[in-house]
Amino acid sequence: MADIISLPVRPPPLPKDWEPKPAEAKSISPFVDRTLIPVGPAYLAHVQRAIHDLSFEEHDKHLEEEQKRQRDLEQGEEVEDDLGVGDEEEADDLLLLDPKEWKKQDHYAVLGLSHLRYKANALQIKIAHRKKVLKHHPDKKAGAVGDSNDDAFFKCIQKANDVLTHPEKRRQFDSVDPYYDLYEADVPTAQQVAKAKDPNTAFFKLFAPVFEREARFSRKEPVPLLGEYSDSKEKVEGFYDFWYNFDSWRSFEYLDKEVNEGSDRCVSNAVAY
């Protein structure tokens, strides 16, 4: 059994000039009940372990695998979802394009985006470009027997990507997209509507695509499109008011003549794959 030893404690005497401090005038704030919300990376990690019944080691391994997957995606080594772009059939005349005549080429067709055109977003353009580069990079044809135009077509690919990833250049190209030349030249006429079996239905059927094409040039959104014969008076007046005051961003600088760029300059922004 342990022995207990009592030691006398004698504090030193207070100094002669010592005086107690005056009490502060501030009062203590009343107690307040506060709810602590569980947040932060540590709590999220705890929740993930609890939900998936993971140990600390298993959770750390899962995080490492996820980080590696993200790095692979950023480096272009793995694309789980290619968004269904860049796989259009390549016609012979497309593959024989001259990069020096880049202003005459259909940049969307070159990247396999003909079905989307001005509706293609930045990610779809990026993925389509990556696919085309992997398929037509000149290094893949090095030492191949026979003549190949892949080197020239690769430069066309790079030029198409340069145009479509630059907002101003893309806007200029979209303004004069050759794909729509035939459509713009074939606008329905009043005679076509009048000769139709049901002129009211024919008017909306024939002219709806026209307004939809032109809507892409509008600075203001949303753009009211041609509706139906049964639309309300308010909707009809709103439609006419918008289109009578249509504010377009369309321009025609792309058609200006200039010195053709050398084919080697088309790959100035080439990405190494």
Instruction: Determine the average pLDDT of the residues in 153-175.
Output: 95
pLDDT, position 259: 43
pLDDT, position 1: 61
Strand, helix or coil at 135? helix
Q: Contact 117/213 with Cβ under 8 angstroms?
A: no
Tokens of 57: 């080691």
More confident residue, 247 or 66: 247
Asked whether the predicted pLDDT for residue 50 surpasses 90, the reply is no
Confidence band of 150 (pLDDT split at 50, 70, 90): low
pLDDT, position 148: 56
Eight-state DSSP code of residue 229: T
Q: Contact 100/261 with Cβ under 8 angstroms?
A: yes
More confident residue, 144 or 172: 172
More confident residue, 174 or 43: 174
Q: Contact 153/97 with Cβ under 8 angstroms?
A: yes
Eight-state DSSP code of residue 266: G
Residue 86's closest CA among 156, 49, 135? 135
Per cent of the chain over pLDDT 70 is 83
